[in-house]
Structure 1
Amino acid sequence: MRLKFTKMHGLGNDFVMVDGITQRVKLSPEKVRQIADRHIGIGCDQLLLVEAPRDPEADFRYRIYNADGSEVENCGNGARCFARFVRDRRLTSKEHILVETAAGTLKLNIQGADQVSVDMGEPVLEPAKIPFEADIQAETYPLEVDGETYNIGAVSMGNPHAVLLVEDVLKAPVETLGAIIERHPRFPAKVNVGFLQIEARDRARLRVFERGVGETRACGTGACAAMVSARLRGLVDEELHITLPGGTLTIHWPGPGEPVTMTGPATAVYHGQIAL
């Protein structure tokens, strides 16, 4: 099978975009791992597949595969790239696009040359729905890891996130602590782990250890979860500029009961074909 693809990135969080509408696509976890391998494949954090929707009100179906071959529910940076991809490949001429995902419908809005705004929906805070094991819903939870107790926020943005506050994000133990928390038994579906440094009420820095991937240069859902957790703690205002290793995202959230909006760039790198 020869597969046409486009390599894209959102703030350095990189994706292989595959059009499953105009070409026949059959993916297995093994093939996803081959494509994602940076030595023998194309190389990416996630593979994103465009399909025809099942929901008649949606424009497309959006499927997301991590580099380890697992399929996951949501990816914010990928959603922005998805919007640019379907426009650039002339699969749609719309500027406002409804996309079906495993976590629900996303609303994508193309703004200008490379900016895309995504309505990420309301954050999920009820522990059982994140999923996270806790007796009651709270702004923060104590989490024991190797004899140490960390105070975390737990949020789902269609995928689960743990958010830790740190004094200096550059010194945070992202690879070691992130890998342990990702598989913590209180997160039965594993979890993405964000390390958040608040700089001002409208500005913060973030690094994210992504479930099934490791640390990435940017994580859109992670930035949204970090905003929600910080705002619930009363630390930030309703618009927050979050700087990740790959660049800055603008996150807007008025508060509980309201959707989170994420705005940032999406960039095409090159087009190609791969034999599988």
Structure 2
Amino acid sequence: MKKTSDETVYPPGYYGRKMMNAADWAGTQVRQWERAQAERKKGKDFSQKPCICLSRGIGAGALEVAEFLSKRTGYPVIDKEIIEHMAKDSSLTEKIIKFFDERLPGKMNELLVALSIEKKFLANDYVKQLAKTVTALSHTDPTIFVGRGTHLILPRHSILSVQLVCNKKRRIEKLAIMLDIDKSEAEKRLNIIDEEHHEFFKAVYLREKISSDEFDLIINMDHIKSEHQVAQIIACAFEQKFQVHLKNK
């Protein structure tokens, strides 16, 4: 029987700092949206926000970079576990779309139609749920998305798309430390995770491999090993692309 990475639990925050789990985060987010309804009457802007999308393999350090970026920008971090939870919870998705439609009547359907024309992968129900979730979130707040191919869903002009890469040896070493296992076992688990990652992109986005054309910026973590420095580089690129000024922290 084929092994899966489900044998190893990777909760949000597996990189070191404990983050709120996906279900708790989603519940908190819905309550925030409910409170935001009053803001709609005060003219709060619910247009597409500039977002940062980080793509990486496990062990490249994306979540550490995202944490520094969040401190630098003040933007929330939404990782793949949160995205997956929200996309699979139909009742939660309905709440998201309800809030979105109340703010921008008919806009979600308009966006999905446009996406369907541009993105050939938008065919099955799961992908549509995923697209609705990510689209609604990106209209609520400027956001740092980590994983799940969000850079392929959101309009290219509205995001800074960044890929973090590093050699496999570094990824294995990091995974071994994170899970407190030896390097041999870490390599086996990493191979399983990478295979699942490939199958996900093949099934969801109809892609056999990731193309460099998808990204505004590709950073090799073998040569810039400080996640804080990488976050600063990304923040600078974000400021330049969208002509915004972020607070220095």
- Give the TM-score taking structure 2 as reference length: 0.29
Given the two structures, how large is their TM-score scaled by the length of structure 1?
Answer: 0.27
Asked which structure has the greater RCO (Cα within 8 Å, sep 6+), the reply is 2
Going by fraction, where is helix more abundant, 1 or 2? 2
